[in-house]
Amino acid sequence: MKKTRVLVAMSGGVDSSVTAALLSKAGYDVIGISMRLGTHDTIEVDTEKPSCCSLEGIEDARRVAAQLGIPFYAVNYEASFAKYIVDYFCAEYSQGRTPNPCILCNQELKFGRLMKLAHQLEAEYVATGHYARIRYDSQLGRYLLLKGIDRGKDQSYALFSLTQEQLSHALMPLGEYTKKEVREIASELGLKTRDKPESQELCFIADDDYNRFLTERMPESIKPGPILDTRGNILGEHRGIQFYTIGQRKGLRLSLGKPVYVVKIDPANNAVIVGDKHELFKREFRVQNLNLIGREHLDEPIKAKVKIRYNDPGHRAMIFQISADEAKVQFDEPYGAITPGQAAVFYDNDVVIGGGWIASNGR
């Protein structure tokens, strides 16, 4: 009987290594794939934190594949990464928004380009080392996305934008494991990556210095401008709106005798607006590019827990669908630092209802 073929996205880390091992043990015809995404930074730094998809990571993935006895290939997606991730990252900051490139990478590359490759190689699935779960609900006739059982590692937030087609051809076996268990499995198998530390926050910024990266990538777009209070009074000058985000307090270089926070960024007037902490708190906001997972449409408003950033525990809110592409989120209580450009993801306990991209920082 012919085995079901699966492509495993292997970054060279312990999570993707164990994913390949588990699926191979389960009887799948496993092919290891690493994405070569290119070098988009101007510097390289020595760090104990590895970068996913680096040349070192690809070599580690190749060695693990050899240990497991599975074929391995590296594919060059440098142009796609530059377009969908790096250019987007820079453009969002120039529009006064705070981007989330990891979500776009999942959507466009891991479950975009790799799924096209899987089809070409007659593979049924693409598998990743994400800590999340996928289930098919026969009554709904839809695939569901759930949190991973390891709450400290759950990555469902970064997967909210996956479509039914993508979910139907995705495998995430680590959703049923804790990180500790994954390390133990890697140790039992003697995998080279068993003790490898977590990768750095953004794989294309070597030192995690966003300001330096943006300055070097787009110097012509960075211009000083006014820092205003919420009444329009000029309080000082900012270095460029790209260097600020909602909720920021440090680095404003203002002496007002009290702490103030960035409450709004106005790209049309190249202005940063600051206010007291209470002015960060809003009751409602809109999301665009709405993606619903367990249903096609919200026929009526629903109650959900909403996360507005990766490490957010989530807060209770009502979700009102406005159009096919847009929804309004209304918190039960005012909530702070709602940041345009970030994702808002809706949950019903462990199940991801859907989500969208925050279009405004609310009112």
Q: Catalytic residue positions?
A: 105, 203
Is there a contact between 225 and 238 (Cβ–Cβ < 8 Å)? Answer: yes
For 50-113, give the DSSP string. PPTTSHHHHHHHHHHHHHHT--EEEEE-HHHHIIIIIHHHHHHHHTT----HHHHHIIIIIIII
Question: What are the residues whose beta carbons fall under 8 Å from the beta carbon of 344, sequence distance 6 or more?
Answer: 285, 287, 306, 307, 308, 329, 355, 356, 357, 358
Q: β-strand 29-36 against 5-9: which pairing, if any?
A: parallel
178 class by beta-carbon count within 10 Å (0-12 exposed, 13-18 middle, 19+ buried): middle
> CA–CA separation, 96 vs 272, rounded Å?
9
3-state secondary structure of 16: helix
What's the Cα-to-Cα distance from 74 to each of 110, 190, 197, rounded to whole Å? 13, 23, 22
Report the half-sphere exposure of 25 (CA within 13 A, side-chain side). 10
